[in-house]
Structure 1
Amino acid sequence: MGAGAKLIPKLLVQLAVLLPVIALFLFGGAGTWRWPSAWAYMTLFAALSIAVSLWLAVIDPALLAERMKSPVQPDQEVWDRYFLGGVMVVYFGWLALMAVDARRMAWSHVPLWAQVAGALLIVASYAGIAWVFRTNSFAAPVIKIQAERHQSVVSNGPYAFVRHPMYAFGIWQFVGGPLMLGSWWGLALTPLIIGALSFRTLGEERMLRTELAGYEDYARRVRWRYAPGIW
């Protein structure tokens, strides 16, 4: 059995734990199981997560193994442990808010075309993140230097255009998710989420500039963090 194949059982267990938690906040907030948009959202989330993870198991099992590690690690930046803990609380609260808004109280009325557009944004986000994974084998979910894997600066693929393409592509999910679920209130919180990601980005850059050889020169060549001409 190859290295990637050995990771698949653990991957499936992690998803089997995560999906019911997401369902709890979505359907609990909605107050009903009869919410087609939430079922469609969860199905799309599960399908794309499994597809990208199985693909990674084939092309880069070392990266998949890195991404499946605990969100709290000994060599992780200390502040990032607290940040990720806060992110999980905010994320599940965001799901519950969208459920209350779109289903329980029916405050928002998002047209079908916008919900379809939201689903397409989520697919595009996963495709972009897959491009990042294909390019950067050091794309860990926590902020740290992977000395044991001989981490080096990556400057090709999407990194030739922006310094943090994973965040840039990930933002599309925070736009697509509320649209797909039909929550204008969820979409209204997206700028706050982007602000939190920007804070993490600046902290990550401080570490990379001081601890990763060659990153300072790379940052001078590639000026933009998320979007050329914007930031």
Structure 2
Amino acid sequence: MFVNNNSITPAVRIGIVRRFIQILVLFGILSAVLLFSSGHTDWLWAWVFIGIYIGSTVFNSIALLKRRPEIIAERSMTQIEHGWEKLIGGLWALLYFLAVPLIAGLDMRYGWSADIPLNVHIVGVICFFAGTGLFSWALLENAFFTTASRIQKERGQTVCMSGPYQYIRHPGYLGAIIQSFAAPMLLGSFWALIPGFLSALLMIVRTKMEDKMLRQELIGYEAYAQRTKYRVFPGIW
């Protein structure tokens, strides 16, 4: 059922505007780092990377505005309640949104990863689409999917057990991990796999810490964890 936009409160509207500004700033920084470090404004794979991000963001935004506009507002907040999240989240953002595009751009400029086969780019595109799609599915399915690891008591948070959450407990994080490896391949930089790998490791650590917090603090999550055994990797962990 879609939400009547006339029912959106002023606070939610402000949060939505704030979130869109944050996204525009992020895209601006990401694009600038990629294009300036590479020295090529006509770099095809950079524009493919940016285009997928913009396309998925537009799709998610339209869907959330119709179904759960309050989620957009919630994701604009930075209510970090745990010290580990501030450290891990900050390092992850630096690695994924700065180090990966910077190294990939410099790689493009200086040819460190010379003669990358087209197949590598294509596999990267396919995997990046897969990771982005999984992240979007989790975002649209979970009414409490936010940027901060906290219990949303003011919104009466409950456990999401539908969609991809039937199979693993943190599908959005699996999507982000896939993106961490796919982005360097899409951009054609083996060197960018280093920060990509590190960002994936940080996401795994964050998953472990958040899962522990949810089991301790969110009513019903422990029972859900007993039924849905795997955090991120089906059959493994």
Cα distance in 2 for partners of 1:201, 1:8 equals 26
**Cα distance change on mapping 1:157 and 1:183 into 2, 3 Å:** same
Structure 1 gap ranges (5+) = none
Report if the CA contact (8 A) 2:16-2:69 is conserved: no
Structure 2 gap ranges (5+) = none
Report if the CA contact (8 A) 2:16-2:72 is conserved: no
Equivalent position of 1:167 in the other structure: 173
1:43-62: CA deviations, max 9, x gaps? Answer: 22112212211211111112
What TM-score results when the alignment is normalised by the length of structure 2?
A: 0.86
Cα distance in 1 for partners of 2:36, 2:140 equals 37
Report if the CA contact (8 A) 2:19-2:73 is conserved: no
Shift of 1:9: 4.5
Q: 1:16 aligns with which of 24, 30, 33?
A: 24
Q: AA paired with 1:111?
A: P
Cα distance in 2 for partners of 1:133, 1:88 equals 19
Please tell me whether residue 84 in structure 1 is matched to residue 92 in structure 2: no
Q: Name the count of aligned residue pairs.
A: 227
Shift of 1:206: 1.8
Equivalent position of 2:147 in the other structure: 141
Range that drifts further, 147-156 or 31-40: 31-40
Please tell me whether residue 104 in structure 1 is matched to residue 112 in structure 2: no
Equivalent position of 1:121 in the other structure: 127
**Cα distance change on mapping 1:93 and 1:190 into 2, 3 Å:** closer
What TM-score results when the alignment is normalised by the length of structure 1?
A: 0.88
CA-based RMSD: 2.1
Equivalent position of 1:43 in the other structure: 51
Range that drifts further, 84-93 or 161-170: 84-93
Range that drifts further, 170-179 or 31-40: 31-40
Q: AA paired with 2:99?
A: G
Shift of 1:86: 1.8
Shift of 1:10: 4.1
Cα distance in 1 for partners of 2:31, 2:55 equals 15
How much identity, in percent, do the aligned residues show? 31
SS at match of 1:185: coil
Cα distance in 2 for partners of 1:62, 1:11 equals 11
Cα distance in 2 for partners of 1:66, 1:201 equals 20
Q: 1:184 aligns with which of 190, 196, 210?
A: 190
SS at match of 1:159: helix
Report if the CA contact (8 A) 1:164-1:225 is conserved: yes
Q: 2:231 aligns with which of 209, 218, 225?
A: 225
Shift of 1:155: 1.9
Shift of 1:77: 1.8
Cα distance in 1 for partners of 2:82, 2:77 equals 15
Cα distance in 1 for partners of 2:56, 2:162 equals 25
1:97-128: CA deviations, max 9, x gaps? Answer: 11112x11112132223212222222222222
Equivalent position of 1:131 in the other structure: 137
**Cα distance change on mapping 1:15 and 1:154 into 2, 3 Å:** closer
